[in-house]
């Protein structure tokens, strides 16, 4: 009588293997957390500590919020933070609305002109427009130095569109037929059937859009004056150029070491995404796994 051999992944791991996994996990956690801890500690350190430690502080002996006070008192970062938040919220909602409606239209069989439109969209994915055509188009439309120039050129991402279209096509056709028999319009089907079944995919695509808008700085450098820059462009200017802050009311330069200002702005730019992600993690994980299985 033959005995069935259990697969290797079902066997209980050996103590040496468990220890190796724990050590590997600790190394990965350290590689992720230590840089962020250094950034946060440097932003909270005093000028004397930063200079004494060569520009970086692992744990501040004299924690201070002076760098953050200088940032918010100056008004530049505060305004940039509002610009980034507004562009991210409005841009994400508009992008989701346009992507969902277009993906739903292209996912339905028999749509007039659906295949040529899809090929045209995929062509833009393979051959994206360059910097000069983008600038000339935005200039001709009169959108220079307007917040619309940060949203309209990237309103629909082709990858997100293809992901949603594939997800909509995976919904059983019997649901659409039943809704049509009940007299539901296409808009009603989209709102009452498709969207409730696509929460996980919408969460993934929405997170992709939000992160892209929040981290965007390139279009701001092309189309926007410095008075209307979003946070990431301000951060890039401070970190790359190493400039300090100037108080908009007194005109006096910041007394803090430039490194503390740079790290404080970096913390402010990073924390919002870290706060939003835990609320979408469940849908994000489900959406990624569902897309992987259905593809």
Asked if residue 125 belongs to a domain, the reply is yes
pLDDT in tens, 42-95: 888 887 888 787 777 888 888 888 888 888 876 788 888 889 999 999 999 999
Task: Clarify whether residues 84 and 194 are in a common domain.
Answer: yes
Classify residue 4: in a domain, yes or no: no
DSSP string, 71-115: HHHHSHHHHHHHHHHHHHHHHHHHHHHHHHHHHHHHHSTT-TTHH
- The answer to whether residues 75 and 191 belong to one domain is yes
Q: How confident is the prediction for the chain on average, in pLDDT?
A: 80
pLDDT at 42: 86
Sign of CA dihedral 197, 198, 203, 204: positive
Return the pLDDT at 8: 58
- CB-based burial label for 64 (10 Å; 0-12, 13-18, 19+): middle
Same domain, 72 and 177: yes
At 209, the pLDDT band (50, 70, 90 cuts) reads: very high
Residue 161 inside a domain? The answer is yes
Q: Is residue 9 part of a domain?
A: no
Terminal-residue alpha carbon distance, the chain: 41
- Counted domains in the chain: 2
Answer yes or no: do 117 and 218 share one domain: yes
**Whether residues 95 and 195 fall in one domain:** yes
Same domain for 189 and 231? yes
Q: Are residues 220 and 263 in the same domain?
A: yes
d(CA 240, CA 219): 17
Residue 219 domain boundaries: 67-294
Query: Is 52 in the same domain as 131?
Result: no
Domain CATH for 136: 1.10.3720.10
Q: Is residue 3 part of a domain?
A: no
pLDDT band for position 180 (50/70/90)? confident
Structure tokens, 269: 């730019």
Q: How confident is the model at residue 253 (pLDDT cuts 50, 70, 90)?
A: very low
Q: 121 and 162: one domain? A: yes
Same domain, yes or no, for 26 and 102?
Answer: no
pLDDT score recorded for residue 87 = 93
């Amino acid at each position: 009588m033959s005995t069935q051999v259990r697969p290797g992944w079902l066997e209980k791991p050996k103590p040496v293997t468990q220890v190796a996994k724990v050590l590997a996990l600790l190394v990965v956690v350290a590689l992720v957390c230590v840089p962020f801890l250094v950034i946060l500690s440097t932003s909270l350190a005093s000028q004397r500590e930063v200079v004494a430690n060569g520009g970086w502080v692992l744990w501040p002996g004299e924690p201070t919020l002076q760098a953050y006070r200088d940032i918010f008192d100056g008004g530049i970062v505060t305004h940039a933070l509002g610009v980034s938040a507004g562009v991210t919220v409005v841009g994400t909602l508009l992008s989701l609305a346009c992507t969902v409606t277009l993906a739903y239209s292209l996912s339905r069989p028999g749509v007039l002109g659906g295949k040529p439109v899809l090929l045209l969209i995929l062509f833009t994915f393979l051959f994206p427009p360059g910097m000069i055509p983008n600038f000339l188009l935005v200039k001709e439309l009169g959108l220079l130095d307007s917040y619309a120039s940060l949203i309209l050129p990237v309103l629909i991402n082709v990858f997100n569109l293809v992901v949603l279209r594939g997800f909509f096509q995976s919904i059983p056709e019997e649901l659409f037929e039943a809704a049509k028999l009940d007299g539901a319009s296409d808009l009603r089907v989209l709102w009452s059937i498709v969207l409730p079944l696509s929460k996980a995919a919408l969460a993934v695509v929405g997170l992709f859009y939000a992160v892209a808008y929040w981290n965007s700085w390139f279009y701001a450098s092309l189309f926007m004056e410095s008075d209307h820059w979003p946070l990431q462009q301000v951060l890039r200017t401070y970190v790359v150029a190493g400039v300090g802050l100037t108080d908009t009311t007194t005109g006096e330069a910041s007394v803090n070491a430039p490194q503390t200002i740079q790290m404080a702005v970096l913390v402010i730019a990073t924390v919002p995404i870290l706060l939003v992600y835990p609320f979408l993690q469940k849908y994000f994980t489900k959406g990624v796994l569902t897309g992987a299985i259905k593809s």
